[in-house]
Structure 1
Amino acid sequence: MRPAAMVRIALMTALTAVMTQIAVPIPPVPFTLQVLAVMLAGYLLGPRYGAMAMLVYLLIGAVGVPVFSNFGSGLGHLLGPTGGYLLSYPLAVAVAGLVAPALAGSRRPAAIAWGVGAGVAALAIIYGVGASWLAVQAGLSPGAAFAAGVAPFVVFDAVKVVFATVLAAAVAPRIASTRLFVGPSREPGGSGRVR
């Protein structure tokens, strides 16, 4: 793995840990800025390295570093009622990351449309896994789990997806020469080869 890849994975892991601590406690699922970091990891790192950043985040939290909401950590946090949301992040990031080449190389309206679409799909994964896990762990019906773990967050998370997409569409083309996802080269005079 290239040093640049390791640095970006580390930066997105750190960003996720910081965004997680910006929280408003809404039992049983706190409101945080995690989704914003998750989307940015996918949009800027692509599916492979974005998923790696989330796996590193989960691993360091599991071994006791307080990176989960309210400075939580440990396997108990991952296996608790809200653990499904956390465990869904690598897959969600991989889905969001599928549009990383489009965000780096497409014209802005197309890039934003692709990004929002992938972000909504990633959000559906987070909600699906998270609410299902919450229902099982907390003994809730599917409807009650949806009401507690999805409904209060939909509007705010949709805003985060749009914001992350717009931000990534502005930033990704500027870092395209060192981008980490696999896609056609966008270098001036490039042959369109796959890196």
Structure 2
Amino acid sequence: MSTVSLASGRPTIADRLIRRSLATDIVLVAAGAGLTGLLAQWVIPMWPVPFSGQTLAVLLVGASLGAARGAISLALYALLGVIGVPWFSDWSHGPSVVFGPTGGYIVGFIAAAALVGWLAQRQWDRKVVGAVVAFLAGSVTIYAIALPWLAVVTGFDLATTLQRGLYPFIVGDVLKALVAGAALPLSWKLVARAKR
């Protein structure tokens, strides 16, 4: 008997912990959006882009839920933030955030979660090196969308866009990738041990 699920393809860490079903998928998608909203409040104010814990959440949500559920979770995060849930960084919300300088990052989160989830479904998250590479690829995906968006919205030239939207975040993003890259393989080992 097959069970309806938003997840497709190979199982992720969430699938090892909770049986796939539409009901559990809805809970996991909502929890991923909530985690992103929560970590968005770990913020160091900077202009025009603050430093926050959102990207760590994006990487973890994508890897733990897989491509489809991860992307849906981050799309839900963006949609609910636009319609008024104050969970973008520093409790902000509304269309002005998504259409402003940080909007490209929020849109990039969806693509990054999909990519990291896709890689996790191919077992990149089972070993530290693969997980770190997957998470760095997710970060690059965010910037590929966010930086052109930032330049268009602010009118910054290339040098200013990189100074305001990339350089201050590189060290933090590498650290987030290392933390997430260590957490996922460890989680897989703990789940395997618990299943025995």
TM-score of the two chains, using structure 1 as the length reference = 0.83
Pair 1:155 & 2:175 matched: no
- Measured against aligned partners, the alpha-carbon deviations of 1:96-127 in whole angstroms (never above 9, x if no partner) come to 112323156x4xxxx21111111111111111
Pair 1:92 & 2:112 matched: yes
| Alpha-carbon distance in 2 for matches of 1:5, 1:169 | 22
The aligned counterpart of 1:6 is 26
One-letter amino acid of the counterpart of residue 23, structure 1: V
Shift >6 Å, 4+ stretches? none
Range moving further from structure 2, 142-151 or 111-120: 111-120
* CA RMSD, Structure 1 to Structure 2 (Å): 1.8
Note closer, same or farther for the CA distance 1:173–1:98 as it changes in structure 2 (3 Å cut).
Answer: farther
One-letter amino acid of the counterpart of residue 78, structure 1: V
Conservation of the 8 A alpha-carbon contact between 2:64 and 2:120: yes
Name the count of aligned residue pairs.
173
| Alpha-carbon distance in 2 for matches of 1:170, 1:66 | 33
Conservation of the 8 A alpha-carbon contact between 2:71 and 2:110: yes
One-letter amino acid of the counterpart of residue 161, structure 1: A
| Alpha-carbon distance in 2 for matches of 1:71, 1:65 | 8
Note closer, same or farther for the CA distance 1:173–1:9 as it changes in structure 2 (3 Å cut).
Answer: farther
Q: Residue 57 of structure 1: which of 77, 93, 97 is its match?
A: 77
Pair 1:45 & 2:61 matched: no
Q: Any unmatched runs of 5+ in structure 1?
A: 177-186, 189-195
The aligned counterpart of 1:135 is 151
| Alpha-carbon distance in 1 for matches of 2:62, 2:55 | 11
| Alpha-carbon distance in 2 for matches of 1:164, 1:30 | 20
The aligned counterpart of 2:48 is 28
TM-score of the two chains, using structure 2 as the length reference = 0.83
Q: Any unmatched runs of 5+ in structure 2?
A: 6-20
| Alpha-carbon distance in 2 for matches of 1:168, 1:9 | 18
| Alpha-carbon distance in 1 for matches of 2:171, 2:44 | 15
